């Protein structure tokens, strides 16, 4: 019912415009020829409107209706003025020409619009299929990486258990074997912890975070275990703005990046944590002087289980990427011109609640 009403509405408008224009012709005295010329041009409005709304058929039907309404006026009013009446007859043929051309162009535009809609829907469908394929591919990579990471510690534990099973009497061998078992169990525990952090991330508990204090805590925490060969330098711009975020998760981000930097510098060096204000938020950079990441691996360093180190789960940077993304930010990595890496974290500014600052 509603659809029929929508279709009927333009028909009524077309009939109203034609009737109104015709009434103007019949009610205006012949002496006001300028007004008659104006009414004559007004017939084009319903013709064009019908052609746009209903295509060339609608244009021709409305042109015929307009001509039928206008023709009696020509015959009764201008029959004694042959030259002027002839021009009016020609004008009726122009109604048909305008209706046909406008309708054809409208039909073509409508067909192109329908084709574009079809192509857009196909692209959307293809995009969804690509996303599903990408999720399946990521799941396969995740499963393969998990199997590889678990197999190595299990092999070590199995070998150690076989040694114990032989019933060796050497206390040193027993202690060394038990150490291997405990070390590999700790490695599995760390792997599963990182995997759970990655697979089931909790939503950030937003609060006002002082990033300068967070970086100071991270440096104090990592600095004690890094050794004297590693020097930490913190550089923050004056009046660094507080941001809205989860302090614990953001601390984990910079803790992971700092630990990575320490592990990449076995011979020592300097690690810089720099924070500055930018147009739409805050940028924090972690710069190290380590061995760096090969150029061909830069695109994969945030992938789950991808690592260039002999030890490690390959989930640390994935967790970093996940947390930063949950905060609406971005994280990137690039090689330094001389040596080492720079990890850049951008955190956007958000309206701060009227609460006490954390940290």
Q: What is the DSSP string of 33-77?
A: HHHHHHHHHHTHHHHHHHHHHHHHHHHHHHHHHHHHHHHHHHHHH
- For residue 276, which phi and psi values (nearest 5 degrees)? -145, 155
Within 8 A by CB and 6+ apart from 259, the residues are 222, 316
d(CA 311, CA 306): 11
d(CA 46, CA 15): 8
Would you list the domain boundaries of the chain?
A: 1-200, 207-348
Confidence (pLDDT) at 352? 62
Measured over the CA atoms of residue 115, residue 119, residue 120 and residue 121, the dihedral's sign is: positive
Residues 250 and 207 sit within 8 Å (Cβ to Cβ): no
Residues 265 and 230 sit within 8 Å (Cβ to Cβ): yes
Confidence (pLDDT) at 133? 62
The b-or-e profile of 285-323 (16+ CB within 10 A means b, else e) is: bbbbbbbbbeeeeeeebbbbbbbeeeebbbbbbbbbbbb
| Length of the chain (residues) | 359
d(CA 75, CA 90): 14
What are 342's strand-pairing partners? 287, 334
Report the topology of domain 207-348: Heat Shock Protein 90 (3.30.565)
Q: Between β-strands 341-348 and 281-287, what pairing exists: parallel, antiparallel or unpaired?
A: antiparallel
Residues 356 and 313 sit within 8 Å (Cβ to Cβ): no
Confidence (pLDDT) at 312? 55
Alpha-carbon Rg for the chain in angstroms: 39
Residue 188 exposed, middle or buried by CB count within 10 Å (0-12, 13-18, 19+): middle
**What pLDDT tens digit does each residue of the chain (359 aa) get?**
666 667 788 888 888 888 888 888 788 888 787 887 888 888 888 898 888 888 889 889 998 988 888 888 777 777 677 777 777 788 888 888 988 999 899 999 989 999 998 888 888 777 667 656 655 555 555 566 566 667 777 888 888 787 777 776 677 777 888 888 888 888 777 767 656 655 555 677 888 888 888 888 888 878 766 667 888 888 888 888 888 888 888 888 888 888 888 888 888 888 899 999 888 889 999 998 888 887 777 777 777 666 666 555 566 788 888 888 888 899 998 888 888 889 999 998 876 665 444 44
Within 8 A by CB and 6+ apart from 352, the residues are 208, 242, 243, 244
Confidence (pLDDT) at 285? 92
Token pair for 62: 């409305």
d(CA 66, CA 15): 9
Confidence (pLDDT) at 224? 67
H runs (alpha helix) in the chain: 2-27, 33-42, 44-77, 82-165, 171-199, 211-226, 247-263, 316-326
d(CA 247, CA 356): 13
CA-closest candidate to residue 314, choices 187, 180, 181: 187
Phi-psi region of 328 (alpha: psi -120 to 50; beta: other; left: phi over 0): left
Residues 43 and 70 sit within 8 Å (Cβ to Cβ): yes
Within 8 A by CB and 6+ apart from 244, the residues are 206, 207, 208, 209, 350, 351, 352, 353
Q: In 10 A of CB 60, how many CB atoms?
A: 20
- Give the dihedral of Cα atoms 255, 261, 267, 272; nearest 10 deg: -90
Residues 254 and 320 sit within 8 Å (Cβ to Cβ): no
């Amino acid at each position: 019912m509603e659809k029929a009403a929508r279709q009927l509405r333009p028909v009524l408008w077309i009939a109203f415009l034609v009737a109104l224009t015709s009434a103007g012709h019949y009610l205006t005295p012949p002496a006001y020829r300028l007004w008659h010329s104006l009414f004559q041009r007004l017939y084009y409005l319903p013709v064009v409107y019908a052609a746009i709304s209903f295509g060339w058929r609608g244009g021709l039907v409305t042109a015929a209706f307009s001509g039928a309404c206008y023709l009696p006026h020509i015959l009764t009013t201008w029959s004694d003025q042959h030259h002027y009446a002839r021009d009016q007859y020609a004008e009726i043929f122009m109604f048909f020409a305008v209706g046909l051309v406008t309708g054809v162009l409208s039909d073509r535009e409508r067909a192109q619009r329908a084709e574009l809609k079809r192509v857009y829907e196909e692209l959307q469908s293809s995009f969804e299929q690509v996303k599903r394929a990408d999720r399946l591919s990521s799941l396969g990579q995740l499963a393969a990486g998990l199997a590889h990471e678990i197999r190595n510690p299990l092999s070590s534990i199995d070998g150690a258990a076989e040694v114990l099973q032989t019933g060796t009497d050497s206390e040193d061998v027993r202690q060394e074997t038990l150490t291997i078992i405990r070390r590999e169990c700790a490695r599995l525990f760390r792997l599963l912890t990182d995997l759970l952090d990655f697979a089931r991330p909790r939503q950030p508990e937003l609060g006002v975070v002082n990033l300068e204090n967070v970086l100071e805590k991270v440096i104090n925490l990592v600095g004690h275990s890094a050794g004297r060969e590693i020097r930490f330098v913190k550089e923050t711009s004056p009046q660094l703005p507080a941001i809205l975020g989860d302090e614990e998760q953001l601390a984990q981000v910079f803790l992971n990046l700092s630990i990575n930097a320490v592990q990449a510098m076995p011979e020592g060096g300097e690690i810089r944590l720099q924070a500055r204000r930018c147009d739409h938020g805050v940028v924090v950079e972690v710069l190290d002087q380590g061995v760096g990441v090969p150029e061909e691996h830069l695109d994969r360093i945030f992938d789950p289980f991808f690592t260039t180190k002999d030890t490690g789960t390959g989930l640390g940077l994935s967790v970093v990427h996940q947390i930063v993304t949950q905060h609406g930010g971005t994280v990137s990595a690039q090689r330094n011109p001389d040596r080492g890496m720079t990890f850049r974290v951008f955190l956007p500014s958000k309206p701060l609640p009227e609460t006490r600052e954390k940290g």
